A and B are shown apart, each in its own frame.
Chain A
Amino acid sequence: MSILDQFKQTYITECFELLADMESLLLNLDCDAADNEQLNAIFRAAHSIKGGSGSFGLDYITDFTHILETLLDAMREGKLRPTREAVDMLLKSVDVVSQMVTAAKDGITPPQTLGKELRKQLEQFVGQSTAEISPHQEESQPQEVMATYDINFIPHENLPSTGNEPLLILSELAGLGESKITADISRIPTFAELNPTACYITWQIELKTAKTLHAIEEVFEFVSDYCDLKISQRQNIQENIATPNNPQLAEEISPKESNRNNAIATSIRVDLEKVDKLVNMVGELVITEAMLKAQTRHLADEQFQGLIRGIDELSQHTRELQEAVMSVRMQPVKSIFSRMPRIVRDVSAQLGKDIRLVTLGENTEVDKNVIEQLGDPLTHMIRNSVDHGIETPQQRSIAGKNPQGVIYLSAQHRGGRIVIEIRDDGAGINRSKVVAKAKEKGLIAKDAILSEEESDQLIFAAGLSTAETISNISGRGVGMDVVKRNIEALGGTITVKSELGKGSLFTVSLPLTLAILDGMIVRVGSENYIIPITAIIETLRPQAQDFHRVEGHNDVIEVRGEFIPVIYLGDVFRVANCEHQAGKTLVVLVESGHNKMGLAVDELIGQQQVVIKSLEANSDPVKGISGATILGDGRVSLILEIGDLAFMQPGKTNFIVKAA
């Protein structure tokens, strides 16, 4: 294991970055008017990947990227044109290399077949047969035998201009064995003519060494063009080795004017673990600060003026710190948006459609966690748009539309959340078809009458797919309901608006961060629970007569014409000492997805921003509870999982008296 193995991870990370660059550049390459700078950049990326692979013994990467480099080199020199076919091959190559790098990352060797076919194609394109890289001249090492050499070292006057130093060369030579060095100063001109930077001295060296001739020649390796060298071995008549004559290239290389702004923002790389730790610590700080604040509420103003003011300031600073730290975890959505052009290109090509993707707001920032979880749902929706949304060019022409379809993908901050929109100018959702299918599958009643919005929302139902042929692109309709669930798991919402023939608009709204929650603290019996504010529609204080008993089901109350089931938290959670009587409880109207329900509680304590703590680290998951937090009094308070509550039956068995 070489000392350089510690850099393997850096290399792998760098490879992924370079591959992403390559892909992006290839996608943006205009085949007819290829930008040479871009071709150069693509070449350099492949070159760097290849260069590093050798250091870590990743031969499979070296071999594959070699042909890639050859092809790209030919392109940047203008010897080969970057046709669409070539670009496709190169894109596929990027995928192959990516797989290889992943294998390297996991420490496994990929199968021999990886990239084999593609490599042949690349070689064909370049017009090369499977030629190997000319191997390094591996001289067979002759036996080390003591011999004496006479070496005549006559540097050209301009040898120093290469930065080489005769003294160092002679020292190295002397280090090979026993030497006798004689300097010849006959070339030195008069003082007036002397050029202090030129080398006038020449040397004769007698060297007794067991090293090979090759070793001696190596000493002069760098200056072979700048000196006359004669090495002859005494005894065993050996041919004098003349210096290899390398033709010098007098090619004019015009400095390329690069317009690229060296806009490399100063940044540092930080371990995600460190950031998470920081976020946690700040979270704890927020809790402690809340505790302190709670304590000051009981203090007399006049007496403790200073303290109260101090804690108020502390609150302010803590909030600022919290925002700042949260922003550290924020990253631009660019990282997921950048995947999309490729997907659109590949899928539309597969389906014979012509589609353009426009992205907006790539620099909008979101918490890193959210970004990671957003990738899959977004990908699915884009694929869906390409597959089911946008029509074929023929269909579009017939409809009087531009044969090229457009998909807009945008992200923006709106009202403390991040809103992502996917809009296409395709066929829109065929409502009647969707409703018919839903009725057929029994998802809704046969005689149900739905509004336009409700019909559209049906596409999020499980088991629905109205595609004539279930393509293996976005698969069955089961996709959209999974997307919805994923988005909701992040605390977000997704809605759709569509117009037949014109297109569809999907709107995803997500919270900016995951770890902090705006909660409403409610009291049920002697327990406090927290309801996420985002789930709350309103709070009601219904009278006893507003409650209707429904046999075998929950009580319901009527709110503006809607009948909403009431869930007695006290019953569901089996809390002792809670209020059961209808009319004496408060009802908090909440919503999860499309389930509306009223939660019967005893009292509203207040609104508070809380830090979400995981229960699951140490306990088994509990239905109805999504997490916990620590309130100002240091006690643990549970955060409700509204989605679960809709399905929880109040316990019919005996109550458990809560231990004191």
Chain B
Amino acid sequence: MSDIFDQTRESKEEILGKGSARQFLTFTIGQEEYGVDIMTVREIKGWSETTRLPNTPDFMRGVINLRGLIIPIFDLRARFHLGLTEADAKNVVIILAVDNRTIGILVDTVSDILDTNEEQIKAAPASQTHAKDQCVDGLISNHDRMVVLLCVNKLFDTELLKKLENFSGDKTQA
């Protein structure tokens, strides 16, 4: 699966030239459509049972074994306070490279690869809920749909989360 992304990256650079061109992988959660920069996407796989890590926020579904590597899976729906995803084999997990970590996000379905450029991306209006606000890079319209572009680095930054929500951490103090 990852070859497709490598190829797409290469052809994107060829065709559109470097500079303002951007490419996103879009996916759905419920009725909403989101996108992440394709450069961060490593792999797409189906949902499989995770091993829960104790005392972690509920959007942290646990870890899985990805060919020998232990990777945490985050429930994006839960992250946006829309409830826990009832995951089954039809759900998709997108494996992303964030900073020097590899993580996975649980989404409903994967839609498309969107070719665009910087100019097309509009800033997000300030009326969104706080939590989402911080990790939204911008908005873009795809045909008649609005795609919310996410900044993967900010999505699960625990420091940031602690600041935003008075979340009880639950990394139990000694």
Residues of A within 8 A of B (CB): 280, 284, 287, 527, 572-575, 613-615, 617-620, 622-625, 628, 630, 634-638, 644, 647-649, 651, 653, 656, 658-660
A626 to chain B, nearest CB (A): 12
Q: How many Å lie between the Cα of A572 and that of B87 in the bound state?
A: 25
B3 located at the interface, meaning its Cβ lies under 8 Å from any Cβ of chain A in the complex: no
A636 near B70 with CB under 8 A, answer yes
Q: How many Å lie between the Cα of A574 and that of B172 in the bound state?
A: 12
B82 located at the interface, meaning its Cβ lies under 8 Å from any Cβ of chain A in the complex: no
Chain A residues with Cβ below 8 Å from B65 are 630, 634-636
The answer, among B55, B58, B75, for a CB contact under 8 Å with A622, is B55
A406 to chain B, nearest CB (A): 41
Give the residues from 137 to 169 in chain B that come closer than 8 angstroms, CB to CB, to chain A: 158, 168
B49 near A618 with CB under 8 A, answer no
Chain B residues with Cβ below 8 Å from A575 are 52, 54
Supplied contacts A527-B52, A620-B158, A653-B168, 13 more A-B pairs, CB within 8 Å: A574-B55, A613-B70, A614-B70, A617-B102, A618-B103, A620-B171, A623-B171, A623-B174, A630-B65, A636-B50, A638-B53, A644-B174, A659-B85
A622 near B53 with CB under 8 A, answer yes
A628 near B54 with CB under 8 A, answer no
Interface of A is mostly: loop
A651 near B70 with CB under 8 A, answer no
Q: How many Å lie between the Cα of A628 and that of B51 in the bound state?
A: 10
B87 near A659 with CB under 8 A, answer yes
B35 located at the interface, meaning its Cβ lies under 8 Å from any Cβ of chain A in the complex: no
Chain B residues with Cβ below 8 Å from A573 are 54-55
B51 near A623 with CB under 8 A, answer no
A651 near B63 with CB under 8 A, answer no
Total CB contacts across the A-B interface at under 8 A:
92
A510 to chain B, nearest CB (A): 25
The answer, among B70, B86, B170, for a CB contact under 8 Å with A617, is B70
Question: Which residue of chain A is the closest to B60 with respect to CB atoms?
Answer: A619
- 12 A–B contacts, CB within 8 A, in A order: A527-B51, A527-B52, A575-B54, A614-B70, A617-B69, A617-B70, A622-B54, A624-B55, A647-B172, A653-B168, A659-B61, A659-B87
The answer, among B51, B56, B69, B75, for a CB contact under 8 Å with A637, is B51
Residues of B within 8 A of A (CB): 49-56, 58, 61-65, 68-72, 75, 84-87, 101-103, 158, 168, 170-172, 174
The answer, among B51, B52, B172, for a CB contact under 8 Å with A648, is B172
Chain B residues with Cβ below 8 Å from A653 are 168
Chain B residues with Cβ below 8 Å from A613 are 68-70
Q: How many Å lie between the Cα of A155 and that of B53 in the bound state?
A: 88
Chain B residues with Cβ below 8 Å from A620 are 158, 171
Q: How many Å lie between the Cα of A647 and that of B172 in the bound state?
A: 9
Q: How many Å lie between the Cα of A307 and that of B9 in the bound state?
A: 45
Question: Which residue of chain A is the closest to B174 with respect to CB atoms?
Answer: A647
B51 near A618 with CB under 8 A, answer no
A651 near B55 with CB under 8 A, answer yes
B155 to chain A, nearest CB (A): 14
B69 near A623 with CB under 8 A, answer no
Q: How many Å lie between the Cα of A575 and that of B64 in the bound state?
A: 18
Q: How many Å lie between the Cα of A345 and that of B49 in the bound state?
A: 60
Chain A residues with Cβ below 8 Å from B87 are 659-660
A319 to chain B, nearest CB (A): 19
B18 to chain A, nearest CB (A): 29
- Residue among A280, A287, A572, A636 with most chain B CB within 10 A: A636
Chain B residues with Cβ below 8 Å from A625 are 53-54
Chain B residues with Cβ below 8 Å from A284 are 68
A617 to chain B, nearest CB (A): 7
